[in-house]
Amino acid sequence: MAEIIQRDGTWTFDGDTVRIVPGGKAHPVRQELGEIAVPVQAVAGVSFEPDRKGGRLRLRLRGGACPVLRAADGRLKDGADPYALTVEKDRTGVAEYFVDELRNALLIEQVPDGPVDRFLLPGPALPVSGGGGDGTASFDGESVRLTWNWKAEESKTAGGPTTFPLPRIAGVRWMPSIGLENGYLRFEPVEGPVSAPPKYDTYALDLWGISKKEHTAVLVAAAVLMRLPGARAALDAPEAPAALTKAAEPAAPAGDHDALLRRLRELGELHRAGVLTDEEFSTAKQAVLRSM
């Protein structure tokens, strides 16, 4: 097992799962998201980026595997990214060892780095809430509720909190505040998009970027996104655990002996090249032999 413990958080890898626990002073997005168990089948790659103070350990997931990353659409800052860990200078060797162990597992399992057709992570736990600016959004799995504060426009506060069930939502979009531009968390109703700016739209929060806490609105977006009709989610599918287990088996079908023999030769080459240890080679070889 590989493990790295830092003030920013703790990452462990047991050969099947990367377990991520945020540190006590981590960004609010990571704190609210809590502990994450990432199956190796969801990982596209891992890297360590050194710098003068130590570096950053970064996990790259397959496209579409994580609802939070999909909702963020590349807009999460490093501090809020749950798959990035700040590494102190005296622990860079441990970080590099962690990278080697995970890369070996990806080779053994032959995990592709392409996108997936369903979410492989469950996303934020329900109920979830977040936001700031002119209000707070909450979602319990069935309905979204927008509660306005004293800074909201009268067009929003006049009707009190806005509540709408999931079937009335056609889409959701999160945009953080950038520079002098406000951000927003916006829900698109099924009857069509609202033309009013987020500041006046009762289906949207206006995010000002004053506090890091505002970024937690992305967790609400992720939770809603994965429950929309047609979303690529396997959250409630009873076959999901079996699907993940099946993905961890050797890629070749059990009856295809030629493919299995080729796999054995590949493992032998990796072992001779020093990529796989004796124990890793033995474990992988036995898995292939069982399939034969």
Which one has a higher pLDDT value, 224 or 178? Answer: 224
Average pLDDT, the chain: 85
pLDDT average, residue stretch 11-33? 95
Q: Each residue of 137-159: b (16+ CB within 10 Å) or e?
A: bbbeeeebbbbbeeebbeebbee
Q: Residue 79 carries which DSSP code? A: G
Contact 176, 210 (CB under 8 A): no
Which one has a higher pLDDT value, 140 or 240? Answer: 140
pLDDT average, residue stretch 169-174? 94
**For the chain, what percent of residues have pLDDT higher than 90?**
67
Region of poorest pLDDT, from 48-52, 197-201, 288-292:
288-292
pLDDT at 250 over 90: no
Compute the Cα dihedral for 188, 192, 198, 204 and give only its sign.
negative
pLDDT at 42 over 90: yes
Quote the pLDDT of residue 107: 94
pLDDT one-digit tens code per residue, 55-109: 999 999 999 999 999 999 999 987 999 999 999 999 999 999 999 999 999 999 9
How many Å separate Cα 277 from the centre of its chain?
30
CA distances to 67, 88, 224, 226 from 127, rounded to whole Å, are: 16, 35, 11, 14
